Amino acid sequence: MPQISYYPVCQVDFDQFTNAFNRAYSDYFTPIIMTPGSFRALIRQDDLDLDASVAALADHDIIGTGMLGLRQDEAWIGGMGVVPEWRRRGIGQRMMEHLLEQAQARGACEVRLEVIEANEAARRLYERLGFVPIRRLLVLERPPGNASPAPTGYTIRTWPAADLLQYFPAFHDTANCWQRDIRSLQHRADMVRGWAALREETVVGYGLGWSYRHEIRLVDLATHPDEDRAAVAAAILAHLHRMQPEAFGHSYNIAEDDPALAGYFSSGYAMSLRQHEMRLPLAAGTP
């Protein structure tokens, strides 16, 4: 059997790495296909560090991928995968150990990740490494169709996404996951649209994402703590689906205790997938 070597992603061919990533996720619960361009956009969006991330190689072939995001003293693992024919040989565990070493060496105090609830093999691996579940995250979907009646008292207006993010800290008493954190959203502010919910000209909620004829995809939905939060969320969703009645609705990794969740459900959204968000505390400093 060829010897397995592990290299920082910055030292391997990025096109080959992207291809290996796609192969690793080709039979996943939700298949993922990236181009080198979309992958680089994701790297920027989620603060993934190519020096700290890892590629597993058998001879000259990339057979495993592991991405590490770094933000001050926090770290996040994403894009962990091994191509099908090389699984169950300990490669995933070795990549995880490498990423944890890199996170600790860079001063991270904790590492987080998400794992699909049905992916029991991966969850067992993470638990062996010391990760513990902290909450569930939901993927929500809505089929095309007429919008539910909108709650009264709110006006919905198109609004610059970057301006709406000033409300993020006050409207998010429930923390978003890494990919929906304000830093990821700030990186995407010039690419997404924004909608503000106003009561008497005061912003009491907002949505960020995309709205097309056949798809509505939200990356953040936030509401003022002193409002009827489910009603504010439902008003924004009713507006979007009234404008695009043929659109399929999608939003990912909503925390199970997010106050906007009831607004999703009353607007016709249902859970399609559930993940565990997991956390591992680290002692900062070089191991």
pLDDT tens, residue by residue, 55-100 = 999 999 999 999 999 999 999 999 899 999 999 999 999 999 999 9
Instruction: Set out the domains of the chain in order of their start, with CATH numbers.
Output: 4-108 (3.40.630.30), 140-275 (3.40.630.30)
Distance CA 33, CA 23 (A): 9
3-state secondary structure at position 183: helix
CB 55 within 8 A of CB 62: yes
Please state, as a whole number, how many other Cβ atoms lie within 10 Å of the Cβ of residue 100.
21
Distance CA 195, CA 197 (A): 7
Distance CA 18, CA 40 (A): 10
pLDDT of residue 31: 74
pLDDT of residue 30: 76
Percent over 90 (pLDDT), the chain: 92
pLDDT of residue 285: 47
State mean pLDDT over 163-188: 97
**Nearest Cα to Cα of residue 6 among 92, 85, 79, 76:** 92
CB 193 within 8 A of CB 226: no
Percent over 70 (pLDDT), the chain: 98
* pLDDT 10s digits, 98-144: 999 999 999 999 999 999 999 999 999 999 999 999 999 999 999 99
Confidence of residue 287 (pLDDT cuts 50, 70, 90): very low
pLDDT of residue 75: 98
4 pLDDT more than 70: yes
State mean pLDDT over 159-166: 98
State mean pLDDT over 47-59: 97
Confidence of residue 284 (pLDDT cuts 50, 70, 90): low
pLDDT of residue 29: 78
Token pair, residue 235, equals 């008003």
pLDDT of residue 1: 66
Please state, as a whole number, how many other Cβ atoms lie within 10 Å of the Cβ of residue 32.
12
* pLDDT 10s digits, 198-227: 999 999 999 999 999 999 999 999 999 999
Q: What is the pTM of this model?
A: 0.93
286 pLDDT more than 60: no
